[in-house]
Amino acid sequence: MSYFTNHNHNNYRQGIARIWCQTGIAGTLLRVPFLRNILWLAAMVTLAFPLYERFIAYPRFEALLIHFVEDEATRVTQHLGAPLRALGEIALTTLPKGFDRQAREVMADFHLEELQIFAADGTVIYSSDAGDVGKVNPHDYFHTQIAQGRVFSQVVRKAGASMEGRNVQADVVEVYVPIMRDGRFLGACEIYFDITANRDTLDQLLTRSNRNLLGMGMALFAVLLVGLGQAAVAVRGRERAEGELRTSEARFRNMAKSAQDAVIEMDSQGRIAFWNQAAERIFGFPVARAQGQVLHDLIVPERFRAAFAVNFPHFLTCGEGTIVGNTSEMVGCRADGREIPVEISVAAVEGQTGWHALGILRDISERKEAEQHLKLGSNIIHHAAQGIIITDTQVRIQMVNPAFSRLTGYTAAEAIGQNPRFLRSERHDAAFYQTLWGHLMESGDWQGTIWNRRKNGEIYAEWLSLSAIRNTHGEITHYVGMFSDISRLKEAEEGLERLAFYDALTGIPNRILFRDRLHQAIKDNSRYEDGKKTAVFYLDLDWFKQVNDTHGHAVGDLLLQEVARRLTTLVRDMDTVARLGGDEFAMVVKYIPDELMAEEIAAKIVVAISKPFILQGIACHIGTSIGIALYPDDAEDPETLIKIADAAMYEAKKAGRNGYCFNRLGATHLSRDTL
């Protein structure tokens, strides 16, 4: 049974040792200074119990035993020394009668091993062993200590030698007690107390005490060892956690160093404890200069520092603040003094001395600038006088501005999602739009005049600029159109054109437009090879001055207007009737076959002008003299044709007026009577 018990106990101890080794507990105990010191202290305390018993408690018990023995020896000496002190001197011859019997009784009563009486010179005058009488104690201690009135004793183990050299067969205490009278040394009493039984009892007690103390020490050591083991496990866990924390912190610091945003840690004193490269780039302060500096003195503009200082104590107390746990925007100050907008997120971390702040800051200057540009662009679009329309690549309207609604009459809700073709006026054919889109896709933009229709059905002219918006890959993402209502401009252009090319009084082409039309007619006529001709008629009104002088300019103006109307009714739309100035008119008649046709037209003109004009109730009679030139018979350029026709007109006037004349022929006169 004891074999199995010891075997199991050994297996248990081996298992415990194996667990300690495998789990690294022993190594942790020896490696960690605090645990190692406790382990050594526990071992020393465990060993201190028996050592204390052996080297401190036992000698004290032994000294106490000797003290008791010395007290006994003193009482024995007082009892036996009383008759000796009465003699005044101790000598062999002065021993009282019956002293031996008295000494034997005392030895029996006090269980003394041996008893001797010494004279003042160290001579034995009485001994329980008669053979010692007469011997002299030669040792110095007798005269240096005992003769000086001091008790002297020692413990002698079995088979040991006494102070006198005697072989002792028991554990005894050898005590010398001086016999004094009035301070004078008379002699001494030597007593041997047998303390063998007492020593055995003390040894047994000491052995049991040592065993109990050692057991208690070992139990305490085992308990402490278990506690240390648990502490070692906790230390290993803490070390593992600290290792993971260090790894995590190293990972965080590496991430923080490579982060594009500034990562700044502020300690409980408000000083910078961590400053990454992005912070250095954003604020311009190198790490060596930033670390240890008061954060708000470094990067907070001076006008905000007072508020920061007021809120900082509250943050240190409870880790709370207006920007803690939120993403906020604030103004930061760079090393060069320039202020920049930053976006900041702050987390509070509780430390041993107070709350720390960990902030992530981002320079949002570019974003703010972009937002400003977007806001400005939005305001420009919103307040632009031009209509703006934005479509996707499927040409579906995504946005319009207020000017669009003002110009077209359609609200944004009515326009968004539609194709801009709902604005078409149908004045342009499909070829126009194909050309427009072809140019837009090829060059990325197009601009020109286009006619569209308002919501109320009104057709208006607009100047339209189209642009294709591309992304960074060159792909079209949107189309943008900007347009202005140019109806009034068109009207103004037409007015300017009328002023430049049309006679203000009669509304028919003036000299400039006449020359242009004649030039174009010659170009058109040259394309034909069938002998077609272009005729130029140069007219001067006869007797117009008399009407003007007689009835006034107002009637004269009405007369000129009516002449223009009559001339216009005599020709086709392709032909041109113009007023060259004053009372001179001209006509271009295209594609006539020969001179006879020109002559017929001239005759009709003379007849039409010769008829009376009723103006404001006044009948006015005038005539006209006409000169005729033909292309290409007379000339091939406009100027020459006009000169020839002008010269022919003068020939007609010379011939008597109210007629027509070719430059090569004589004038044909048509009288009023003939008409």
Looking at residue 377, what is its pLDDT? Answer: 73
| The residue count for the chain | 675
Question: What six digits make up the tokens of 579?
Answer: 């007023």
Half-sphere exposure of 632 (CA within 13 A, CB side): 12
User: pLDDT by residue (tens digit) across 410-462?
Assistant: 999 999 999 999 999 888 999 999 999 999 999 999 999 999 999 999 999 99
- Of 630, 568, 637, nearest in space to 604 by CA: 568
- 588, 518 in Cβ contact below 8 A? yes
Looking at residue 14, what is its pLDDT? Answer: 57
Looking at residue 24, what is its pLDDT? Answer: 64
Q: Exposed e or buried b for every residue in 652-661, given b needs 16+ CB within 10 A?
A: bbebebbbbb
- DSSP one-letter code for 55: I
- 189, 177 in Cβ contact below 8 A? yes
- DSSP one-letter code for 96: P
Question: What six digits make up the tokens of 237?
Answer: 């866990």
- Of 128, 85, 132, nearest in space to 108 by CA: 128
- 375, 360 in Cβ contact below 8 A? no
Looking at residue 367, what is its pLDDT? Answer: 85
Helix or strand (DSSP H, E) at 127: strand 124-127
- Of 515, 520, 518, 521, nearest in space to 500 by CA: 515
User: pLDDT by residue (tens digit) across 465-496?
Assistant: 999 999 988 899 999 999 998 888 777 777 77
Helix or strand (DSSP H, E) at 480: strand 476-485
Query: What is the C-alpha separation between 382 and 390, in angstroms, rounded?
Result: 13
Amino acid at 486: I
Looking at residue 1, what is its pLDDT? Answer: 42
- DSSP one-letter code for 142: I
* Burial class (CB within 10 angstroms; exposed 0-12, middle 13-18, buried 19+) of 668: middle
Tell whether the model's pLDDT for residue 2 goes beyond 80: no
- 176, 148 in Cβ contact below 8 A? no
Q: Confidence band (pLDDT; 50, 70, 90) for 10?
A: low
User: pLDDT by residue (tens digit) across 17-34?
Assistant: 555 555 566 666 666 776
* Burial class (CB within 10 angstroms; exposed 0-12, middle 13-18, buried 19+) of 308: middle
β-partners of residue 189 are: 117, 177
Tell whether the model's pLDDT for residue 669 goes beyond 90: no
Phi, psi (degrees; rounded to nearest 5) at 552: 95, 165
Range name among 6-15, 133-142, 331-340, 574-583 with the lowest pLDDT average:
6-15
Half-sphere exposure of 187 (CA within 13 A, CB side): 29
Query: What is the C-alpha separation between 573 and 559, in angstroms, rounded?
Result: 23
Q: Confidence band (pLDDT; 50, 70, 90) for 261?
A: confident
Looking at residue 167, what is its pLDDT? Answer: 67
- 416, 388 in Cβ contact below 8 A? no
Query: What is the C-alpha separation between 520 and 425, in angstroms, rounded?
Result: 31
Range name among 4-8, 80-84, 347-351, 628-632 with the lowest pLDDT average:
4-8
3-state helix, strand, coil in the chain (%, to 5): 50, 25, 25
Query: What is the C-alpha separation between 388 and 402, in angstroms, rounded?
Result: 8
Average pLDDT over residues 238-246: 73
Range name among 44-58, 132-146, 154-168, 550-564 with the lowest pLDDT average:
154-168
What is the torsion angle, in degrees rounded to the nearest 10, for the CA atoms of residue 93, residue 96, residue 97 and residue 98?
A: -130
Q: How many CB atoms lie within 10 A of CB 451?
A: 17
Query: What is the C-alpha separation between 560 and 545, in angstroms, rounded?
Result: 12
Query: What is the C-alpha separation between 128 and 193, in angstroms, rounded?
Result: 13
Q: Confidence band (pLDDT; 50, 70, 90) for 36?
A: confident
Residue with tokens 């007109």: 649
Q: How many CB atoms lie within 10 A of CB 257?
A: 13
What's the gap between Cα 204 and its chain centre? 81
Q: Confidence band (pLDDT; 50, 70, 90) for 224?
A: low
* Burial class (CB within 10 angstroms; exposed 0-12, middle 13-18, buried 19+) of 405: middle
**Averaged pLDDT score across all residues of the chain:** 82
Looking at residue 528, what is its pLDDT? Answer: 64
- DSSP one-letter code for 653: H
Looking at residue 665, what is its pLDDT? Answer: 46
Looking at residue 560, what is its pLDDT? Answer: 96
Tell whether the model's pLDDT for residue 3 goes beyond 60: no
CB contact set of 42 (below 8 Å; sequence gap of 6+): 220, 221, 224, 225, 228
Query: What is the C-alpha separation between 272 and 291, in angstroms, rounded?
Result: 5
Q: Confidence band (pLDDT; 50, 70, 90) for 300?
A: confident
- 342, 282 in Cβ contact below 8 A? yes
